[in-house]
Amino acid sequence: MMSAHRTWLPRGGAIALDDGEWRVSFDQLHARIDATAEALRATRLARIASLADNGIDWVVADLAMLAAGIVHVPLPGFFTPAQVAAACAAAGVEGLLLDPVSPLRALFSATKAHGLATRPADASPIAGLQQLKLQGVVAATRPKLPVGTVKITFTSGSTGTPKGVCLGLEGLLRVVGGVHKAMRPLSIRHHLCALPLAVLLENVAGAMVALTKGATVHLRPLAALGWRGAAGFEAARLNQQAHDTGTESLILMPQMLRAWTAHLAQSHDTPDTLRFVAVGGAAVGAQTILAARAAGLPAFEGYGLSEGGSVQTLNLPGADRPGSAGRPLPHAQIHADQHGQLHAGGSLMLGYIGEPDIADATLATGDVGEVDADGFVWVRGRRDNLIITGLGRNVSPEWLESLLRESASVSEVVVLPDQHGGLRAVIWPAANAADAAVDAAVAKTNQQLPDYARLQGWIRACRPLDAASGLATPSGKALRAAIAAAHTQPETLHETPA
């Protein structure tokens, strides 16, 4: 596996990585990967995690572990100390790559209270890496992994408990090749990593795909891109970085796209180099996509899952249907079963940590939706979230939530069943939005819905939607049961007029 990167990573003097201070050519990147791989192999550690900000070292370390046959466990900075410790224990991590001066150092220090034991020696420098140092970790156990595992990505899920997805090199390169083939007509030469590299979508569909194309990957600290913790985001900072780097492509989460669109509606300062803005991670909605395009952002929605190596479907110029997740990419297959559940195939994981290896050719995604006659995939929501109304109809709350988020008066929303068999919404209004504005947004949404799916009313959220309030995971994913339990008082309900 020592030559894994040589099969897909170009060579030459063109710039591969640019962090605003240092630039690394493709030839230099190959040399640094080889040096780092050799140094990591000399440690005799088989499983190494990383807890680091976006930067050149992150990319070098990731590719060096692929080359050295070491299992890489990227850890997102939005994990809690308990989740970091649990992920390291679950994967049998023996070493941890850290930046001694990064704000994430505090997160690492806090993990010790949750059972993460480190070796007494200080973190050691590794050849090929300028900032990241290797800290030894005492692995209580070394769980068996599926044969061929090269990367373990953890997803917090709705329970907040990390679950390890084991990925193989062949599957990852299949995703990279599929996205590369689909994107080739766009001739992207500059990609800005706007998501954390520890997120598989940016790691694989962002950085690795851009490098495969011979494009320059622009890397900036997450704070410089506007990230404030797990859920906060300042669009003005991202906009400035897009200008400064002359980037042509980015990958965003839906809430980032909405914030950037709102910023541009005020500033009228859209970067003119942008050619493709992929959006994924949650439902986006046709109106959000169209509003972004009206502001000058070439936004295109996609769909994927960690178990499939990240992105599976994507809208593209010339093959675009706003509101859908696009058509399957060359490496992927998607179909819906008789119950409306989507199944994915083509680039599947090897299995979960601690569970039997995956032998099936397709995987039930847990998402409900359909594939239309033209091959576009429409994702309606999570199967586990389906609400059965008093009329016996199945309603995906994500459907209603997506429509409500299109209103400027609604920042975030979660739709829940009420005690009478109807539907209600817990709403986090936009800043300074009055109740009357939210009432109007709910009424407008109801006009777009069949009678069985209409909201009976809404409740103003009592606490922020974040991990500190107990209403969301550290990654910002809503905890529906906790939200329902916190909003049970009928007198707080704003009833929707019939």
- Per domain, the residue ranges of the chain are 4-11+24-143, 181-347+356-380, 386-495
The two structure tokens encoding residue 162: 């990390």
From the list 182, 186, 180, the residue with the least C-alpha distance to 212 is: 180
The two structure tokens encoding residue 450: 């069949």
Q: How far apart are CA 442 and CA 429, in angstroms?
A: 12
Q: Do 239 and 260 contact (CB within 8 A), yes or no?
A: yes
Q: Tens of pLDDT along 156-215?
A: 554 456 689 999 999 999 999 999 999 999 999 999 999 999 999 999 999 999 999 999
Host H or E run for residue 131: none
Residue keyed to tokens 């940016």 = 202
Q: Does domain 181-347+356-380 have CATH number 3.40.50.12780?
A: yes
pLDDT in tens, the chain (498 residues): 546 677 899 999 999 999 999 999 999 999 999 999 999 999 999 999 999 999 999 999 999 999 999 999 999 998 889 889 999 999 999 999 999 888 888 999 999 999 999 998 888 999 999 999 999 999 888 999 999 999 999 975 544 566 899 999 999 999 999 999 999 999 999 999 999 999 999 999 999 999 999 999 999 999 999 998 655 789 999 999 999 999 999 999 998 999 999 999 999 999 999 999 999 988 888 989 999 999 999 999 999 999 999 999 999 999 999 999 999 999 999 999 999 999 999 999 999 998 888 877 899 999 999 999 999 999 999 999 989 888 788 899 998 999 999 898 999 999 999 888 889 999 999 988 999 999 999 999 999 988 889 999 999 999 999 888 999 887 788 999 999 999 987 667 787 765
CATH number of 4-11+24-143: 3.40.50.980
pTM given for the model: 0.90
CATH number of 386-495: 3.30.300.30
pLDDT at 218: 98
Mark 454-486 as b/e (b = at least 16 C-beta within 10 Å).
bbbbbbebeeebbbeeebbbbbbbbbbebbeeb
Q: How far apart are CA 175 and CA 187, in angstroms?
A: 18
Q: Do 473 and 160 contact (CB within 8 A), yes or no?
A: yes
Hey, which residues does 149 pair with through a beta bridge?
Answer: 168
The two structure tokens encoding residue 342: 């989507």
4-11+24-143 and 181-347+356-380 agree in CATH topology: yes
Q: How far apart are CA 447 and CA 263, in angstroms?
A: 28
Q: Tens of pLDDT along 394-429?
A: 899 998 999 999 898 999 999 999 888 889 999 999
Q: Do 456 and 436 contact (CB within 8 A), yes or no?
A: no
